[in-house]
């Protein structure tokens, strides 16, 4: 039973939205300390979760009422992507998050603009986006799960059938 629970946890871990993830940028800019995270790792074309932690440099307290904009500029002919990162989109309410669909692999420029109390800071960096996974590779856990369930059921039936024969043999003696 614990093997099945472990398998289910592993399957769920791959699909869970991840506030946080791999640190892509961490920089002090103006009055802010800004950290940008992405998931999954490696970052691939397709759905990506971008999260931003905004802190005051004086005291490191997280700012919970900032305005955070994310801009991704990729290789031609991909159009730039502009999204608003919000705390409502984040599971961890100390972060601002946005789910984006990155249409192509290659080098992308990530630019994050933070506004709070009339102050603005911009940080940017490069992201290397890998090709998307082939569909079959991405779905393999879901294809293997039914086989695992059938195998566990067959093992259970075999053990209970064997135990029933041992009890019958003992009662006939």
pLDDT, tens digit, 9 for 90 and up, residues 153-165: 989 888 888 776 6
What pLDDT score was predicted for residue 147?
Answer: 85
pLDDT tens for each residue of 5-24: 544 444 444 444 445 689 99
C-alpha separations of 110 from 21, 36, 67, 122, 151 in Å: 16, 9, 17, 10, 46
pLDDT tens for each residue of 91-104: 999 999 999 999 99
pLDDT tens for each residue of 127-152: 999 998 766 666 677 778 888 888 89
What pLDDT score was predicted for residue 169?
Answer: 61
> With contact defined as beta carbons under 8 Å apart, do 29 and 76 qualify?
no
Please tell me the distance from the alpha carbon of residue 57 to that of residue 30, in angstroms, as a whole number: 8
Please tell me the distance from the alpha carbon of residue 70 to that of residue 54, in angstroms, as a whole number: 13
Can you give the pTM of this predicted structure?
A: 0.69
pLDDT value at 26 more than 60:
yes
At 119 the three-state DSSP class reads strand
Please tell me the distance from the alpha carbon of residue 130 to that of residue 124, in angstroms, as a whole number: 19
Please tell me the distance from the alpha carbon of residue 86 to that of residue 94, in angstroms, as a whole number: 10
pLDDT tens for each residue of 48-73: 999 999 999 988 899 999 999 999 99
What pLDDT score was predicted for residue 173?
Answer: 59
Q: Please name which of 68, 72, 2, 79 lies closest in space to residue 32, comparing C-alpha atoms.
A: 68
> With contact defined as beta carbons under 8 Å apart, do 9 and 140 qualify?
no
Distance of CA 49 to the CA centre of its chain: 6
Pick the CATH number of 17-129 from 2.60.40.1120, 2.30.30.100, 2.60.40.2480, 1.10.10.10: 2.60.40.2480
Q: Where are the domains of the chain?
A: 17-129, 133-173
Q: Which residues pair with 26 in a beta bridge?
A: 35
Q: Which residue has the tokens 């249409």?
A: 103
Cis peptide before 154 (omega within 30 of 0): no
> With contact defined as beta carbons under 8 Å apart, do 122 and 112 qualify?
yes
What pLDDT score was predicted for residue 75?
Answer: 94
Reported in sequence order, the residue ranges of 91-143 that DSSP labels E, i.e. its strands, are: 95-102, 106-116, 119-129
What pLDDT score was predicted for residue 17?
Answer: 45
């Amino acid at each position: 039973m614990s093997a099945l629970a472990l398998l289910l946890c592993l399957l769920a871990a791959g699909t869970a939205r991840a506030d946080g993830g791999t640190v892509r940028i961490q920089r002090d800019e103006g009055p802010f300390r800004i950290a940008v995270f992405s998931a999954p790792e490696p970052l691939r074309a397709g759905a990506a979760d971008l999260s931003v932690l905004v802190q005051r440099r004086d005291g490191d307290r997280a700012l919970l009422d900032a305005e955070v904009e994310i801009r991704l500029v990729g290789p031609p002919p991909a159009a730039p992507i502009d999204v608003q990162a919000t705390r409502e989109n984040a599971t961890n309410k100390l972060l601002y998050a946005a789910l984006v669909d990155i249409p192509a692999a290659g080098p992308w420029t990530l630019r994050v603009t933070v506004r709070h109390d009339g102050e603005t800071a911009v940080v940017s960096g490069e992201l290397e986006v890998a090709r998307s996974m082939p569909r079959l590779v991405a779905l393999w856990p879901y294809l293997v799960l039914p086989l695992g369930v059938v195998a566990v059921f067959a093992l259970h039936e075999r053990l209970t059938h064997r135990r029933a024969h041992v009890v019958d043999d003992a009662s006939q003696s």
